[in-house]
Structure 1
Amino acid sequence: VTDKGIYSDIVFSPGLQVKVTGGHQDKTLTCITTCTLTGNPTYIWYKNGQHLDESTSPQYNNSVSSNYEDSYSCAVKGQEDFLSPAVCVQDQSCSRVTYTKRRICVLKGSTVNISCTYVGYYSTTSTFWFRSDKSTPEDLTRDPGYADRVQYPDKEIRRYKGPSILRITDLREEDSVEYRFTFKTDNFEWGHRFPGTTLSVTVLQVKVTPAAEGQKTLTCSTTCTLTDNPNPTYIWYKNGQRLDEPTSRQYSVNSYYSDSYSCAVKGHEDHHSPAVCVQGQYCSRVTYTKRRICVLKGSTVDISCTYVGYYYTTSTFWFRSDKSTPEDLTRDPGYAGRVKYPDKDRWINKGPPILRITDLREEDSAEYRFTFKTHNIEWGHSFPGTTLSVTGLQVKVTPAAEGQKTLTCSTTCTLTDNPNPTYIWYKNGKRLDEPTSQQYSSNTLVVLGHSVDSYSCTVEHHEDLHSPAVCEYELNYCST
């Protein structure tokens, strides 16, 4: 039995292997283990990633294929996630998938690469990654829940074999699931039920426990051990200010009512824990309503948070995190006439501080943070805030059927308040009003590709924010 983890991630695996014996036409497969299994286990056999048969014997007694492309693997019933590596019956060019890691634990908000290598005996026609909990395997790049967050670096499909990487950014707790890779050839499709890589997305939490009289012990914890950093260096914050001394998982503090603490791990300072109070629930802290926002160029956005200052607040303002010195945005010449603090007179009584930016520009894309001062503290400038992405609409032109072009209206990120918008198309500056046709509310439009017409698009409720016009035929000679 092998210990595969620590803390709460203890998994026991029988260390299965498939042993191939016999001649060219009469192969025998045996599922062997590194230790004797208790009870009377049932063995499960797989061929080319597809469930094949079950038996109480560790030997596969049915006819074994002598084809060069076929691979076999085995598992024990009840432990299907811990199957043996796939082995070739004849040579080493048979079809198989090998995952680099079977389990991965990463921080919420970070980026992960999940990878595997694959071999397809015949030329590969398609490849993609999917979630194992979907009833029908769906390419993650087409899943709305992963919009703008999934990439396949080096996507080029290799003819027979190669590495494949699934990259997921801005990880969320609901991304915790098993991910699998599949490929197709002209002869078969690699099994969807074959176990893949299980991803666990964890958040940092500060736990407060009593210590000596007048003291508390703070513990920075995760629900699983970080895969790429099992023994991290910890960073602690007091009232939003970084503490340079403590680097361990635990930290002892005096229990003052006004103080809040949070933690992070080195290398991931943007993904810190929520601030917790040492005593009671009225300590100083800031909580952002949204950590990421995507909006259209030219529109208006409200960025908000809630805050608590244990003592009387003397000043409050919003600023851009990329400034060397925090500067109140209402005094920044780059935002002149475009920044407002609605209901600022309520902020002094802990009303929700709202930053409103109008006539948004692409250069407004940045992280925005809120800070406040009391007679005792100034909330830390280094604490992560809300990241704003400002996107324009663009029309992309691609060939379709003969004599036709496909126009696609797109943004660089998914609109926060309207992730599935209704699109509106314009031809030569005039709206295409076809309410009974779904075609005209889609982000794609198929048109004839031999005229001099121009097209642009927008989204419903933002009709004044058009994309630049493009021509379906000759870019320099279309109507405007």
Structure 2
Amino acid sequence: MIENEYVDLKSDPQYDHRVKYECWSRSCTLTITDVRKSDSGVYRFRFISNHPDGKFTDGPGVTLSVTDDPDLHVKVNSVYGETCNKVIYTDRSICAVKESSVEISCTYNSYYRSITSKYWFRSNSSLQWQSPSRPQDLRTGRVQVHETTKGRSTLRISDVTETDSGQYGFTFRAGGFEWGRSLSGPSLTVTALQVQVNRVMAIDPSSVHVELKCQSSCRPRSSSYVWFQNGRQTESTTLYFTTRINSGDNFSCAFNGHENLRSPLVYAPKAPLLKMSPSGDIVMNSPVTLNCSSDANPAANYTWYRDSHPEFTHEGPQLVFSSIQSSDSGRFYCEAENQLGRRRSEFVSINVEYAPDVPSVSVVSSGEIVEGSSVTLTCSSDANPAANYTWYKEDEQAPKASGQNFTISDVRAEDGGKYSCEAQNSRGRRRSVIHVTVVTGWMKSAAAGSVSVVIVLLVFLVVFLWIRKKRFFQRTPGHVEVRCTKRQLNAGPEYEVPPAAAPRNPAAPQDDLFYASISFSKSQDEALYSNVRAAPLQRRGAEEEEDVEYTMVTAQGLGASSQPRRREAEEDSFALYSTVNKAQRA
């Protein structure tokens, strides 16, 4: 081989940053990373001494063939003869099922010195079963090291978990140097199988099918799948599994040959459980939280509902009232749902307690509250729990009665005054006041006299308005003619005053009398008479009489002749008399 054909790999652009030389004493190692197919070929080691002819190249060299395996890493040891320092791993990439056991093995050799120590380590974690600076014996617990033959070491890890995933390495010390620490060791991936719900197919309301997938981060070599439904192994060995589902069904999968290492079960939600915090009495304006939980895989989604309030919904496992109100009282429940089904919880009742509102007080009586009558006072207030009621009278410390109603059967004048009603429950108390007025005898008489005066005034007003109305027809044919005379004691044969209207004492002086005489034309069928006499002045002594006022209206028909008729024959059957008595003056 020509001298110029030897090229240092570090100076070759094709190997830029991909090669590394490591030499101790008389041993050197070439490491090539990120190998490519173009790296295939024969590699040789050459060294140059300080002697003019001190150049040496080994032969026949090492042949490297690069394949498509992405896990392949190449290490070439160039030494004198056929011996070298070496660490060679059996597997470059290992996939293990969670809770299984895994073995990582290697062969090693020291070129010319005896090995003084050796150990396994994790190159990508601070956790090392054997620290390079402090070797440890790991033949206890989950990690053990075995050497069945000279130059071969096996690391065994039992009951692996996801935290055991990582890259491992082996190194040894011989003489004054360490070998294998810088070499890339095998990687371990621990997979936990999961059943994934791909889709749910409803063929009809009574037939629902589901497609499941056995999910894992890696797959052991030459492994197929095993499916279980309700704990029984099925005939399916594929990655996907399709079956009809019923309420209460559960499913799991495993790798063939690892049937005892199954995935977690998948199933529809179990009956949800409700919890309320706080669990005791609920007081208005306090915080309240409802929690809903259900055993389900895949995890359930939660929806809250309120009984008799179909418009109320809330999403999430919690229903929170930051300041609960009386209007929030009611019964609540939740639904848990995943792709395999749904379940509803039992009801939880919220009863919000609060102090009484201001009481409403009223009086129940058949009329005026007069002496001797009966009266009932009623009190009501919105409260939870229901309020108790106590009645008090002003300026009295002792309660008068208890209960929502307070009845006074035989009312006396001293029963009048202010009464208060107190509504009380375990959350507080409130009061309201009402005034009771008792009507005595003299107050009742005064009220009756006032009513009589009002009636008299009304009667005079009616008569006055009726007379004024008739005056509109005085001077037109067929209308009424009105004549008024003063002190006319006898109105003539046609307008005689009935005996009842005559003065009681003819000898005594009389007040002026005023008569209104009304006559109609011959075409009129009836005549109306109104005789109004003012009450006589008050008399003293034996002749003193009550004031009497009379109003007499007599209606008589007019015949064809203008001759007067006798009272017995002429008097019509229609006569209206109104008599109003005024109260005597003191």
Instruction: Tell whether the structures are fold-level matches, with TM greater than 0.5.
Output: no
More helix per residue: 2
TM-score under structure 1 length normalisation: 0.42
Give the structure, 1 or 2, with the largest relative contact order (CA under 8 Å, sep 6 or more): 1
